[in-house]
Amino acid sequence: MTTEPIITSERVDDFPLLLASMLQLGLPDIFDHHMGRHGLHQGLSWGWIASIWLAHLLTKSNHRKQPVQTWVKQAHETIEKITGQKVRELDFTDDRLTLLLRRLSKPDTWQAIEKELSQNIIRVYDLKAKQVRLDATTVSGNGTRNGWKYFKDNTIFGFLDYLWNTVQKTSFQEEKKRSYCP
């Protein structure tokens, strides 16, 4: 007597790649480190809930809490295989996601998460260049090199101020030389 195999069909889109990237960055562990866990909390940790919800948000381009539970139910097998975690539908209810947002909205918690994450993904190189081009992206960062704090005040604008002042000072000095030279 032969038994028929059970076939499960799930639409995967790009979220496995997103989750794998988040795992490589250590995102679930970073969230867990700064958000802790209540003694009565059951199911997935806050780090896993946040990471899976972020993958949903990026995959579906939908920031609402309501469809997350349905999406997790549809992609249940794939999420469990990638994360190695037991995933329950109850981990992604509106109430649970609201609690997560409340915890993330605390400035001290969010800044600590950003700081630890930026230490894993931003690298500063001492490159000698004649010309510097910057885009308008804002980033957070931390670190010092040669006594100067990169990304002063945790924004790129501190770095832009430094460059602007340097360019103005250099331009002024060159203009002064030209006007007094015979």
pLDDT tens digit sequence for 6-35: 877 766 678 888 888 888 889 999 999 998
- Give the mean pLDDT of 108-127: 82
The Cα–Cα gap between 30 and 135 comes to 28
74 and 44 fall within a common domain: yes
pLDDT cut 70: percent of the chain above it = 71
45 and 68 fall within a common domain: yes
CA triple 129-132-134, angle to 5 deg: 145
| pLDDT, averaged across the chain | 77
User: What was the pLDDT predicted at 108?
Assistant: 92
At 88 the three-state DSSP class reads coil
* Structural domain contains residue 7: no
User: What was the pLDDT predicted at 31?
Assistant: 92
More confident site: 165 or 20 = 20
**pLDDT value at 40 more than 80:** no
pTM of the complete model: 0.61
91 and 157 fall within a common domain: no
CB 137 within 8 A of CB 156: yes
**pLDDT value at 169 more than 70:** no
**pLDDT value at 132 more than 80:** no
**pLDDT value at 68 more than 70:** yes
Pairing status of strand 148-149 against strand 144-145: antiparallel
* Structural domain contains residue 119: no
**pLDDT value at 182 more than 50:** no
Identify the domain containing residue 25 by its residue range.
15-110
**pLDDT value at 181 more than 60:** no
* Structural domain contains residue 90: yes
* Structural domain contains residue 46: yes
